[in-house]
Amino acid sequence: MVDNRREREYELKFKALADDLPRFMSAVDAADPKAADWSLAALANSYFDTPDHALSARRVSIRLRRTKGKILQTVKTATRADGGLMDRDEWEMPVTDYALDFGVLPAAAKRALGDVGPKDLVPVIEVETERHKKVIRRDMPLGPQLVVEVAVDRAVVRAGEKSEHFCECELELQEGDVGGFFTVAAEIHDRCPLPMSAITKAGRGYRLLADTPAEARHMPKFQLQADETIHDALADVFGACIGNIIANEDICRAAVDPEGVHQMRVSIRRLRSALKAFAPYLRTANVGWMNADLRWLGGALGPARDWDVFIGETLASMAGQGIDQHATQALRARAETEREGAYHVVRAALDSDRYAKLMFRLTAFVALDGWLAGPPDTRDPLFRKLGAAAPEILQRPYQKLVKAGHNLPDQTFEQRHAVRIRLKKLRYAVDFLARVYPEKKVRPFMASLKKLQDLFGWVNDLAQAKRLAQVLTRGADGGKVDDIVHQAVGQVRGWHARALHEVEPDLIDNWHKFTDASPFWGKAKHASDAE
């Protein structure tokens, strides 16, 4: 008889090198000294899809696994991504032959596969795994016994003519509650802080099949609705931001796409902006711990982003502006050296225990609804509907922005920098809540806000260009810099002064247009009333 029950898979996956595996296994042993010894098995998996990868596009997978004389057929579909926690629906059943058998699939699994039938599917990915496995059991004071399955894998994935060898460690909740699961996971991770992983074995195969350079993953647009609660919004925003940080790690390490560092910084800023936007509903004791580490991580990425912009945008925009080409090339060469050093800092941060512990703790925070002070209570302001809360959430950063920009034409660069930061905070708050309001009301305000943010960003880039050009005159390791570099720096300064002069009228004009218009959520108070 086929078991038609829907199963929920909660899994934490960690990246690992071969040298990490013994340490991780020792940490698991310490978490349950009485557990049975590790078992060892060889797994052979075949993943099936249509020739155009229709299942992958729907985030659904179907595989056959052969191990110890048994054959298992498994369907998985992604549900909710809570940072690094893989939360998926899973249906697994034995089959007699190494061939897909849709006849044994429960109705829910068939619905996940849609109109795809066995004749539409071909094997696209093969994975061979050497797996050490152990089961941790722990009696809980309240509720059922906790059962956690631990897997330590050495594997190779083959897709087409390509292959990749890798190691990874997994913790999967078999029985019990998610809180107990993270308690055990935290004990193991504290002893062996490995970085989180958000890519499945099938995902590795599809990455090989793509045959395109790895690309940064952009933050998805938020789709928060008026009838959602603040509690729901926090789960969506935090989960998306944390997941996007993890998804861009490899791009940042490889330094192959400047968007990697950019998108990771965007995710960090949005996470911090969410803390600010929803601050009236959050308890400092619940969320205050993450600010220092998020600031540290953003700071580690900052210099790499500055050099990416300087090389990829500033120097590129100077071409054809009367600046000597040879001087620009010399400046670019020096800047490339500085960028290499900045990316070394990025890799050191992402490979550090501090980063691994931060991402684990953030993942647990989202999975366990860490912003709640206790069991869910509908009387808690966190369960207020976004439609009712949005005006006051948006009004606070708007008032602070208007106050910061008071008398903008006479402000110093440092004062304008503070205005730029306020603009970003308002922009992120609007991004969170834009779908709460009709699009036709939001669109003009968003266009004006974006234009203003672009202008302030351009002014900031000009100032950064001047600062970074000055850095290049000092020479690597205190060495002497060629005269041609000094010549290029002088030209950058002149270009910087001219560009600032040209953009100033447009900046002031757009600021007045923005502050004169009424925000879409209601009438704004005078700037003097801002907090």
Burial of 384 (0-12, 13-18, 19+ CB in 10 A): middle
Task: Using pLDDT thresholds of 50, 70 and 90, give the confidence band for residue 6.
Answer: very low
The lowest-confidence range among 185-199, 329-343, 354-368, 471-485 is: 471-485
Identify the top-confidence range among 171-175, 198-202, 207-211, 309-313. 171-175
The lowest-confidence range among 1-10, 119-128, 232-241, 401-410 is: 1-10
CB atoms closer than 10 angstroms to residue 110? 15
Provide the pLDDT for residue 481.
62
273-283: average pLDDT: 92
Provide the pLDDT for residue 321.
59
pLDDT tens-digit readout, 83-135: 667 777 889 999 999 999 999 999 999 999 999 999 999 999 999 999 999 99
SS3 content of the chain, % helix, strand, coil (to 5): 55, 20, 25
Task: Using pLDDT thresholds of 50, 70 and 90, give the confidence band for residue 457.
Answer: confident
Whether the per-residue pLDDT at 323 is higher than 70: the answer is no
Residue of 176, 171, 138 whose CA lies nearest to 25: 171
162-175: average pLDDT: 96
Task: Using pLDDT thresholds of 50, 70 and 90, give the confidence band for residue 425.
Answer: very high
Provide the pLDDT for residue 237.
93
pLDDT tens-digit readout, 362-408: 999 999 999 987 777 788 899 999 999 999 999 999 999 999 999 99
Whether the per-residue pLDDT at 474 is higher than 80: the answer is no
Provide the pLDDT for residue 76.
92
In percent, how much of the chain has pLDDT > 70? Answer: 91
Task: Using pLDDT thresholds of 50, 70 and 90, give the confidence band for residue 320.
Answer: low
Residue of 141, 117, 85, 179 whose CA lies nearest to 370: 179
Provide the pLDDT for residue 84.
65
Say what angle helices 386-404 and 258-277 make with each other, to 10 degrees. 110
Q: Which two tokens stand for residue 340?
A: 């290499």
Whether the per-residue pLDDT at 526 is higher than 60: the answer is no
Distances (CA, A) of 274 to 169, 234, 414: 31, 8, 24
d(CA 387, CA 521) in angstroms, rounded, equals 10
pLDDT tens-digit readout, 429-448: 999 999 999 999 999 999 99
Task: Using pLDDT thresholds of 50, 70 and 90, give the confidence band for residue 475.
Answer: low
Provide the pLDDT for residue 221.
87
Whether the per-residue pLDDT at 171 is higher than 50: the answer is yes
Whether the per-residue pLDDT at 454 is higher than 80: the answer is yes
DSSP secondary structure code for residue 424 in this structure: H
Q: Which two tokens stand for residue 126?
A: 């093969």
Average pLDDT over the chain, rounded to whole?
88
Whether the per-residue pLDDT at 2 is higher than 80: the answer is no
d(CA 214, CA 231) in angstroms, rounded, equals 34
Residue of 224, 517, 514, 522 whose CA lies nearest to 394: 522
Provide the pLDDT for residue 479.
57
d(CA 280, CA 381) in angstroms, rounded, equals 9
Provide the pLDDT for residue 7.
60
Q: What pTM was computed for the model?
A: 0.88
Provide the pLDDT for residue 322.
60
Whether the per-residue pLDDT at 267 is higher than 50: the answer is yes
Whether the per-residue pLDDT at 187 is higher than 80: the answer is yes
Provide the pLDDT for residue 466.
76
Residue of 423, 425, 437 whose CA lies nearest to 510: 423
d(CA 143, CA 7) in angstroms, rounded, equals 19
Provide the pLDDT for residue 501.
75
Q: Which two tokens stand for residue 227?
A: 């009838």
d(CA 45, CA 129) in angstroms, rounded, equals 8
The lowest-confidence range among 110-124, 145-159, 455-469, 510-524 is: 455-469
29-35: average pLDDT: 92
Provide the pLDDT for residue 10.
85
Q: How long is the chain?
A: 531
d(CA 59, CA 206) in angstroms, rounded, equals 11
Element (H, E) at 529: none
Secondary structure class of 122 (helix, strand, coil) = strand
502-510: average pLDDT: 90
> Domains, the chain, ranges and CATH?
7-210 (2.40.320.10), 230-529 (1.40.20.10)
| Vertex 174: Cα angle to 170 and 176 (nearest 5) | 120
Element (H, E) at 389: helix 386-404
Element (H, E) at 58: none
Secondary structure class of 240 (helix, strand, coil) = helix
Provide the pLDDT for residue 495.
67
11-29: average pLDDT: 96
CB 452 within 8 Å of CB 423: yes
